[in-house]
Amino acid sequence: MTFTYHRTIRFQDTDAAGVVYFANILKICHEAYEESLEASGINLQNFFQKSVIAYPIVHANVDFWKPIFCGDKLVVNLTSEKLNGEKFAINYKIAIADSLVSQAMTRHVCIDVASRQKRELPDAINQWLQSTMTS
């Protein structure tokens, strides 16, 4: 099921040319990711600060088809994909009204914080993946 996040572009998101700075699209995608985790019942403070598990991004890409300006109202549609027992990907489609303006993807791996070794995804993340998987 798709998770939808709404975001207005602010002046601070733009560059000297007046359009969204490319890296800020990934920042906005991460905001959508965090909102989707919280909506599924995951406590963000525990998830990011107090966990013995982390989910670093090991790959990211983004494509732009139209410029995005200050004041634009974005609709970010997020879906996830379980890649294997320890990896998942998140796909983001970014639109203004009904026009697709950008698309991004982040790939994450589950690791043990202390050892930095890969580990199986825990139940809470598997449940979140189920709730946001592409149908």
Residues recognised as catalytic? 15
- Selection from 93, 89, 98, 90 nearest residue 64 by Cα: 93
Tokens 């560059």 map to which residue? Answer: 15
d(CA 30, CA 12): 16
SS3 17: coil
Q: Are 3 and 78 in contact (CB under 8 A)?
A: yes
